Amino acid sequence: MSDFFAYKEGRLCAERLDVAELAARYGTPLYIYSAAALSANLCAWQTALGERGAVCYAVKANSNLGVLSLLAARGCGFDIVSGGELERVLAAGGHPKTVVFSGVGKTVGELRAALRAGIGCFNLESAAELEMLNEAAGALGVQAPVAVRLNPDVNANTHPYIATGLRENKFGIDMAQAREVYARARDLPHIRVLGAGCHIGSQLTEIAPFEAALERILHLVDALAADGIELEHLDIGGGLGVAYRDESPPAPADLCAALLERLGGQRLRLVVEPGRSIAANAGILVTQVLLTKQTGVKNFAVVDAGMNDLLRPALYQAWMRIIPVLDQPRPAAVWDIVGPVCESGDFLGKDRTLGLAAGDLLCVRGAGAYSFCLSSNYNSRSRAAELMVCGERAQIVRQRETVADLLRGECPFALDAPQCA
């Protein structure tokens, strides 16, 4: 796969644009996404599945309208987990029939909004949700298309915060209860059963956990057929990992080939919900070194991006590659790259060997997924701008927040109000 963030004569470029020049024009911290990288990553999945299935991008990975509109224009479907994500998909031009709605805590209002929009499928997470959805669909005089998200109790060998397919996780319906839930769904008047699915975790770097989950679901498919319940599709979820450091995840083609082979001659469409593998390496975060600080124990490079801009290192102990934007010959030292937020957990990377000085620009690779979407205004810091590049063209797809944006919706407390009781 081509790298759309590469050095040219010692200067990092995003496609055909100079990253240092972009930073000078748009400021830092700055997220930069490559349209070519997003398109290539999506195409890899679409080619791997062919006519046997559908790609539904996991919106939670990166929900920027610029990203979503690009994917929608290239025929991608969407996996959502909230009503807000549904509104983003629709605003970006996504077709509601390509949307699957996952998530353990859908509200009645969200169910109704999705039913009115006419989404393709609800991934049920509990028996209680099934009853809520039937009632909501009945009130609107429609049938709700559903798949049951199953919990196959498969160890995905990933960080515990992003493992979702074990029995102790909150996601999905236990396999032992599945036939009962399907029987109930079949008998409800406003429910139409379409499929089965699962999602066992994120940043998976092996095919075996996917195969193990699919094997357990296929046993259930046979049992459901004996009960007179025929399914149309299997949703294997997402979670395929990317190379942040030295990981060697399988390519989408290899994963899909293994899963389709296991499906054999069954007339079941395969739905996949990739997020990270489409967006992560299609984005970078550019930050500037504010100052350097030596304590005798540590060398700190304090940058203008903090944990409010990029939470993954603090939240998941995630390792993300950090490289200079300008490849300059300088004596190297071992640095902790830290931000300005008032927390000891505010770091982008530790023990990095770099030749750097105050004023330098640094690039955090792999920042296209689970990066800006986890950002916050902690310490009353404005969130970064997001930029999409396409060849020699750049477009801001989210403006940098201002102080006015930070204060919007708030008001001072009126001290001259009557005393509280």
The tokens for 313 are 């290192």
CA separation for the pair 192, 143 (Å, rounded): 6
Which of 77, 237, 59, 64 lies closest to 148 in space, CA to CA?
Answer: 237
The residues carrying an active-site annotation are 342
Separation of alpha carbons 153 and 137, rounded Å = 31
Q: Where are the beta strands (DSSP E) in 226-294?
A: 233-235, 269-272, 283-294
The CA distances from residue 252 to 1, 57, 61, 88, 105, in Å, are 12, 13, 17, 26, 30
Q: Is 130 within 8 Å of 122 (Cβ atoms)?
A: no
Q: How many CB atoms within 10 Å of residue 363?
A: 23
Instruction: At 303, list the tokens.
Output: 């940058």
Q: What is the DSSP letter of 419?
A: P
- Is 378 strand, coil or helix? helix
